[in-house]
């Protein structure tokens, strides 16, 4: 039997251009107020909110009575006329002719989408379906969506090809033992830590590639900046040094922030982030050695060859004096096996990070494209080159120098939105304690 055809539906964001017209909206009851002879319903749909105003004597009695029975998060459909209003926040309201209850909501709500009282983190995560209806969450994830769109548009406009690397792999992408293993028929496979090896292979064919995909880290994180499943935004480019792709990085980074500021003004306002600053290019380059000395001078217990703690990343922003900067020329021994050592000083490698508002949001390197050097570096990291044979063989048949980087989607969203915990900017976080919802 054929399904019933839906009536034409108008969304809240369209109403400003429909004054005087009769429209049909559908959404959730965000709030109600019944004040004797006049009642108000705030209806929320995916595009925003609108006010429905029912005055006794001007609307059918059945509508007045039905409004009295409505509860928060009931799903309703409203047919009525769009009218100008001095009292309504948007400057217009709906005078209802008909209201239908599509589905009733359970009560009491475990989380109030009006956020009259802000829910704690566990409640936000347990009741994601309700939290994502709050103004705060809607602002965060619309900004995140804009970041993704800007990243993709920026690279497509510059001739990069979007690729789809696998997330089931045969061996570690970056070395180490912190992988999730799974039974793959008669073999053991792993969830990818990174698309690293595959995006390099693709760059050797298409020259300029990018990808957006989930990656997995089986580390027992319990920190506000780490997750076990995260989204990366990566590029890889052939015939390119580290400085070549740093230039792409800073221009892409600038464009993402510009687009958020331009297209997400209302969302930034909700989050009290209207003062989002756009960095001036080129971003300042600071060497690892310079930062170590700055931290030591500031009293930090750190020596050359150590990685930085999150506290030290925050401190280095103050010491360097820039909200965003490139940290480069890292010690070879603390970077991945595929990082190209410096030709004049092999203790250093062509590696870099982008530090933004005191947090590393991106890392990258120039890659080793010489098989013999790659084998040497694998062995120096305690890895067996035989486990990487197909990867190493890729560079035996015409491999130019190539470089790339990866931005953490959740981390850049954190820094743009001013959130202090990465779980707040992840739709469905996965950490050692949480795999639901």
Same domain membership, residue 165 and residue 28: no
Same domain membership, residue 147 and residue 94: no
Helix (H, G, I), strand (E, B) or coil at 262: helix
CATH of the domain at 357: 3.30.930.10
CA distance 395 to 402: 11
Same domain membership, residue 185 and residue 64: no
Same domain membership, residue 31 and residue 146: no
Is 323 inside a domain boundary? yes
Residue 434's DSSP bridge partners are 431
Q: What is the pLDDT of residue 212?
A: 98
The residue behind tokens 């020259």 is 207
Is 404 inside a domain boundary? yes
What are the pLDDT digits (tens) for 219-252?
887 889 999 999 999 999 999 999 999 999 999 9
CA distance 212 to 231: 7
Q: What is the pLDDT of residue 118?
A: 85
φ/ψ bin of 213: left (φ > 0), alpha (ψ from -120 to 50), beta (otherwise): beta
Q: What is the residue range of 308's domain?
A: 129-425
* Residues of the chain under the 50 pLDDT cut: 1
CA distance 330 to 270: 39
Is 433 inside a domain boundary? no
Q: What is the pLDDT of residue 197?
A: 87
Is 399 inside a domain boundary? yes
Same domain membership, residue 173 and residue 99: no
Is 351 inside a domain boundary? yes
Is 141 inside a domain boundary? yes
CATH of the domain at 17: 2.40.50.140
Domain total of the chain: 2
Residue 162's DSSP bridge partners are 210
Residue 80: enclosing H or E segment and its boundaries? strand 75-84
Same domain membership, residue 78 and residue 133: no
For residue 202, whether the previous peptide bond is cis, meaning omega lies within 30 degrees of 0, is: no
User: What is the gyration radius of the CA atoms in the chain, in angstroms?
Assistant: 27
CB 347 within 8 A of CB 331: yes
Is 436 inside a domain boundary? no
Same domain membership, residue 90 and residue 169: no
Q: What is the pLDDT of residue 174?
A: 58
């Amino acid at each position: 039997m054929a399904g019933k055809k839906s009536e034409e539906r108008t969304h809240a964001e369209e109403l400003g251009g429909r004054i005087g017209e009769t429209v049909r909206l559908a959404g959730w009851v965000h709030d109600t107020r019944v004040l004797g002879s006049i009642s108000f319903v705030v209806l929320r749909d995916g595009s925003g909110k609108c006010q429905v105003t029912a005055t006794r004597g001007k609307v059918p009695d059945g509508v007045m009575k039905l409004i009295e029975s409505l509860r928060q998060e009931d799903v309703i459909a409203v047919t009525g006329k769009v009218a100008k209003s001095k009292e309504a926040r948007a400057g217009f309201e709906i005078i209802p002719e008909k209201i239908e209850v599509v589905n009733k909501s359970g009560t009491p709500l475990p989380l109030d989408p009006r956020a009259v009282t802000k829910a704690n983190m566990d409640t936000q995560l347990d009741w994601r379906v309700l939290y994502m209806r709050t103004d705060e969450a809607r602002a965060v994830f619309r900004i995140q969506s804009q970041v993704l769109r800007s990243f993709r548009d920026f690279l497509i406009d510059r001739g990069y090809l979007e690729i789809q690397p696998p997330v089931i792999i045969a061996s570690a992408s970056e070395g180490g033992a912190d992988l999730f293993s799974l039974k793959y028929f008669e073999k053991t496979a792993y969830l990818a830590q990174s698309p690293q090896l595959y995006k390099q292979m693709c760059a050797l064919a298409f020259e300029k590639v990018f990808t957006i995909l989930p990656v997995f880290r089986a580390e027992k994180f319990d920190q506000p900046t780490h997750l076990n499943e995260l989204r990366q935004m990566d590029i890889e480019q052939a015939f390119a040094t580290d400085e070549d792709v740093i230039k792409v990085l800073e221009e892409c980074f600038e464009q993402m922030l510009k687009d958020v500021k331009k297209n997400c003004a209302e969302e930034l306002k909700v989050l009290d982030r209207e003062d989002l600053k756009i960095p001036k290019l080129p971003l300042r380059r600071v060497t690892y050695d310079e930062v170590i000395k700055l931290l030591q001078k500031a009293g930090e217990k750190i020596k050359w060859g150590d990685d930085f703690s999150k506290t030290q990343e925050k401190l280095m922003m103050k010491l360097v004096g820039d909200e965003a900067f490139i940290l480069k020329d890292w010690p070879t021994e603390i970077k991945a096996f595929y990082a190209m050592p410096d030709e004049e000083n092999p203790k250093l490698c062509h590696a870099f990070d982008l530090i933004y508002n005191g947090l590393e949001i991106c890392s990258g390197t120039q890659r080793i494209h010489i098989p013999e050097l790659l084998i040497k570096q694998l062995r120096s990291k305690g890895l067996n080159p035989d486990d990487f044979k197909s990867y190493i063989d890729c560079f035996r048949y015409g491999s130019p120098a190539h470089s790339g980087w990866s931005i953490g989607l959740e981390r850049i969203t954190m820094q743009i939105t001013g959130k202090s915990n990465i779980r707040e900017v992840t739709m469905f976080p996965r950490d050692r304690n949480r795999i639901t919802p």
